[in-house]
Amino acid sequence: MVGSNVSSSFSSILLAGGRSSRMGKDKALLHFGSENLLDYMQAKLSELGCHDIIVSRNQPGFVSDTIPDQGPLSGLHACLPHCQFTKVLVVPVDMPALTAETLLPLLNNQASASYYQDCALPCVLTNSKELQTDIEQQLSGPNGRRSVFALLQRFNAQALSCQNESQLVNTNTPEQWSQVCQIQGQTQEWMHES
């Protein structure tokens, strides 16, 4: 099990609450191999050794945004109070190429927050009242900086170099999805569904 290579216990927030407007379909429900992307990414986090996975998704059975339509920061705001551990790995549902080898350096980094240079997600944050308050202020203020990257800057996150940047590709469009499926050797049956 890869989880034995993680230096401490951690929670994971899986961001799966986006509108998927560029994809034209709910990205979390796209088929990746024999399962949907949401289940695939949850399994990947479990294999990494995470026993506390909180899914940000505006559907019954998941954690819904309390401040809607504000992007990933809104998902973080809703999920952070549910995390059991101080160290929190934040992963978007639309990065199926991520591997444990790419996530481990973030998890084992000693900085209070870390991410890969030029890519705000995935990232690791230290859950605290200060972090939660900062996010709430950014979401509720008229001049709030509502990006994950701005949050990482405010908390002096350490930018790491990624050894395999191709794993950091978001699949926001059908073309990007097709490319990732082709690279990963997966079928694209979803394109033919109604």
CA atoms of 166 and 184, how far apart (whole Å): 11
3-state helix, strand, coil in the chain (%, to 5): 40, 20, 45
- CATH superfamily membership of 7-192: Spore Coat Polysaccharide Biosynthesis Protein SpsA; Chain A (3.90.550.10)
Strand partners, 181: none
Instruction: Kindly indicate the confidence band of residue 74, based on its pLDDT and cuts at 50, 70 and 90.
Output: very high
Between strands 11-15 and 53-56, the pairing is parallel
Separation between Cα atoms, residue 78 and residue 127, nearest integer Å = 12
Among 180, 179, 152, 18, residue whose Cα is nearest residue 93:
18
For the chain, percent of residues with pLDDT exceeding 70: 90
pTM of the model: 0.90
Q: Is 146 exposed, middle or buried (0-12, 13-18, 19+ CB in 10 A)?
A: middle
The pLDDT score that the predictor gives to residue 193 is: 39
CA distance 19 to 76: 16
| pLDDT higher than 60, residue 139 | yes
Please say whether the beta carbons of 158 and 126 come within 8 A. no
Q: Which residue has the higher pLDDT, 95 or 172?
A: 95
Tell me the residue type at 61. Answer: G
Q: Where are the domains of the chain?
A: 7-192
* C-alpha closest to that of 39 among 65, 57, 64: 57
Check residues 136 and 185 and name the one with the higher pLDDT. 136
Provide the pLDDT for residue 136: 95
pLDDT higher than threshold 50 for residue 191: no
